[in-house]
Amino acid sequence: MNDEASSSVTLYDVSRLCKVSIATVSRVINNSDKVKPDTRDRVREAMKQLGFRPNSAARALAGQQTRTMGVILPDISSGFYAHVLKGIDRALAEKGFHALTMFSHDLEDEKALTHRILDERRVDALILMNLELPDSFIEEIAESRTPLVLLDRPSSIRKISSVSINNEQGIKNAMAYLARECGYRNVGVISGPPGTYDADQRLMACHRFARRYGLCIPPGFIVNGSFDHDAAYAVMDSWIREGKKLPDAMIALNDVMAIGCWNACRHHNISVPEELGIIGFDDVEYARLLGLTTVHVPLVEMGIKAAELAIAACDQVSPARMIMMDTELMIRSTCRRREDAPPARKKKEKK
Amino acid sequence: MNDEASSSVTLYDVSRLCKVSIATVSRVINNSDKVKPDTRDRVREAMKQLGFRPNSAARALAGQQTRTMGVILPDISSGFYAHVLKGIDRALAEKGFHALTMFSHDLEDEKALTHRILDERRVDALILMNLELPDSFIEEIAESRTPLVLLDRPSSIRKISSVSINNEQGIKNAMAYLARECGYRNVGVISGPPGTYDADQRLMACHRFARRYGLCIPPGFIVNGSFDHDAAYAVMDSWIREGKKLPDAMIALNDVMAIGCWNACRHHNISVPEELGIIGFDDVEYARLLGLTTVHVPLVEMGIKAAELAIAACDQVSPARMIMMDTELMIRSTCRRREDAPPARKKKEKK
DNA sequence: AGTAGTAATGTAAGCGCTTACATTATGTCT
DNA sequence: AGACATAATGTAAGCGCTTACATTACTACT
CB B79 within 8 A of CB B297: no
Is a pLDDT exceeding 70 seen at residue A223? yes
d(CA A325, CA A258): 22
Which uninterrupted H or E stretch holds B192?
none
**A274's torsion region: left (phi>0), alpha (psi -120 to 50) or beta?**
alpha
Is a pLDDT exceeding 70 seen at residue B347? no
Is a pLDDT exceeding 90 seen at residue A349? no
CB A282 within 8 A of CB A83: no
The predicted model gives A86-112 an average pLDDT of: 93
**Cα-Cα end-to-end distance for chain A:** 56
Per-residue CA distances from B267 to A343, B174, B332 (Å): 29, 26, 21
Amino acid at residue number B191:
S
Residue B119 and residue A6: Cβ atoms within 8 Å?
Answer: yes
Please give the pLDDT value at position A3. Answer: 43
Is a pLDDT exceeding 90 seen at residue B175? yes
d(CA A209, CA A207): 6
Which nucleotide, over all strands, has the C1' atom closest to the CA of A23? C10
Please give the pLDDT value at position B350. Answer: 44
d(CA A128, CA B82): 17
Please give the pLDDT value at position A215. Answer: 96
pLDDT in tens, B33-78: 678 999 999 999 999 999 999 999 999 999 999 999 999 998 776 7
Residue A61 and residue B57: Cβ atoms within 8 Å?
Answer: yes
Is a pLDDT exceeding 90 seen at residue A309? yes
pLDDT in tens, B79-116: 788 899 999 999 999 999 999 999 998 889 899 999 99
d(CA A105, CA A96): 29
Residue A81 and residue B78: Cβ atoms within 8 Å?
Answer: no
Please give the pLDDT value at position A154. Answer: 84
d(CA B19, CA B48): 15
Whether the beta carbon of A12 falls within 7 A of nucleic chain C: the reply is: no
Please give the pLDDT value at position B317. Answer: 79
Whether the beta carbon of B19 falls within 7 A of nucleic chain C: the reply is: no
Helices (H), chain A: 11-17, 22-29, 37-50, 56-63, 79-94, 107-119, 135-142, 167-176, 197-212, 229-241, 255-267, 285-290, 299-313
| pLDDT level of residue A351 (50, 70, 90 thresholds) | very low
CB A280 within 8 A of CB A254: yes
pLDDT exceeding 70 applies to what percent of chain A?
94
A193 in contact with chain B, both atoms CB, cutoff 8 A:
no
Is a pLDDT exceeding 90 seen at residue B135? no
Q: Which residue of B has its CA nearest to A110?
A: B93
The predicted model gives A137-146 an average pLDDT of: 88
Of B5, B60, B86, Cβ closest to residue A143: B5
How close B182 comes to chain A (CA, Å)? 22
**Could you tell me whether strands B294-296 and B328-330 are parallel, antiparallel, or unpaired per DSSP bridges?**
antiparallel
d(CA A201, CA A177): 19
Q: Which residues make Cβ contacts (< 8 Å) with residue A283, sequence separation at least 6?
A: A255, A294, A295, A296, A297, A330
d(CA B178, CA B194): 24
Q: Which residue of B has its CA nearest to A86?
A: B77
Is a pLDDT exceeding 50 seen at residue B351? no
Residues of chain B contacting residue A113, judged by C-beta atoms under 8 Å apart: 93
The predicted model gives A135-142 an average pLDDT of: 88
Q: Which residue of A has its CA nearest to B105?
A: A90
Whether the beta carbon of A4 falls within 7 A of nucleic chain D: the reply is: no
pLDDT in tens, B319-344: 899 999 999 999 999 999 887 766 66
Whether the beta carbon of A65 falls within 7 A of nucleic chain D: the reply is: no
d(CA B177, CA B183): 8
Is a pLDDT exceeding 90 seen at residue A189? yes
Please give the pLDDT value at position B345. Answer: 55
Please give the pLDDT value at position A2. Answer: 43
For residue A177, the 8-state DSSP code is I
CB B120 within 8 A of CB B88: no
Please give the pLDDT value at position B196. Answer: 85
**Residue A191 CB neighbour total at 10 angstroms:** 24
Amino acid at residue number A200:
D
- Report the candidate in B10, B62, B113 with the shortest Cα–Cα distance to residue A57: B62
Is a pLDDT exceeding 60 seen at residue B210? yes
In the β-sheet with B222-224, what is the strand arrangement from edge to edge? B222-224, B187-191, B249-252, B277-279
- Report the candidate in B170, B200, B175, B141 with the shortest Cα–Cα distance to residue B324: B170
B79 in contact with chain A, both atoms CB, cutoff 8 A:
yes
Residues of chain A contacting residue B57, judged by C-beta atoms under 8 Å apart: 57-58, 60-61, 66, 121
d(CA A93, CA A311): 11
The predicted model gives B248-263 an average pLDDT of: 96
pLDDT in tens, A72-83: 998 776 778 889
| A 250-289: CB under 8 A from B | 256, 259-260, 263, 284-286, 289
Q: What is the 3-state secondary structure (H, E, C) of B236-271?
A: HHHHHHCCCCCCCEEEECCHHHHHHHHHHHHHCCCC
CB A273 within 8 A of CB A334: yes
Of B60, B78, B98, Cβ closest to residue A102: B98
Is a pLDDT exceeding 90 seen at residue A338? no
Q: Which residues make Cβ contacts (< 8 Å) with residue A325, sequence separation at least 6?
A: A163, A164, A165, A166, A297, A298, A301, A302, A305
Is a pLDDT exceeding 70 seen at residue B7? no
Please give the pLDDT value at position B346. Answer: 52
The predicted model gives B185-204 an average pLDDT of: 94
Residues of chain A contacting residue B86, judged by C-beta atoms under 8 Å apart: 75, 77, 103
How close B6 comes to chain A (CA, Å)? 6
| B 89-108: CB under 8 A from A | 89-90, 93, 98-103
Strand C nucleotides within a 7 Å radius of protein CB atoms: 7-12, 14-20
d(CA B68, CA A100): 9
Residue A75 and residue B86: Cβ atoms within 8 Å?
Answer: yes
Which uninterrupted H or E stretch holds B161?
strand B161-165
Is a pLDDT exceeding 60 seen at residue A175? yes
Please give the pLDDT value at position A305. Answer: 97
Please give the pLDDT value at position A16. Answer: 92
Q: Per-residue DSSP letters for B261-316?
A: HHHHHHHTT--TTTT-EEE-SB--HHHHHHT--EEE--HHHHHHHHHHHHHHHTTS
d(CA B43, CA A101): 31
Which nucleotide, over all strands, has the C1' atom closest to the CA of A14? D16
Backbone angles phi, psi at B10, to 5 degrees: -110, 170
* Lowest-pLDDT range of B219-223, B294-298, B323-327, B341-345: B341-345
CB A151 within 8 A of CB A302: yes
Q: Share the mean pLDDT of chain A.
A: 91
Please give the pLDDT value at position B6. Answer: 46
Residue A93 and residue B102: Cβ atoms within 8 Å?
Answer: yes
pLDDT in tens, B223-232: 998 899 999 9
- Report the candidate in A56, A71, A125, A303 with the shortest Cα–Cα distance to residue B89: A71
Of A89, A289, A290, Cβ closest to residue B103: A89
Whether the beta carbon of B119 falls within 7 A of nucleic chain D: the reply is: no
Q: What is chain B's alpha carbon radius of gyration, rounded to the nearest angstrom?
A: 26
Of B98, B122, B285, Cβ closest to residue A78: B285
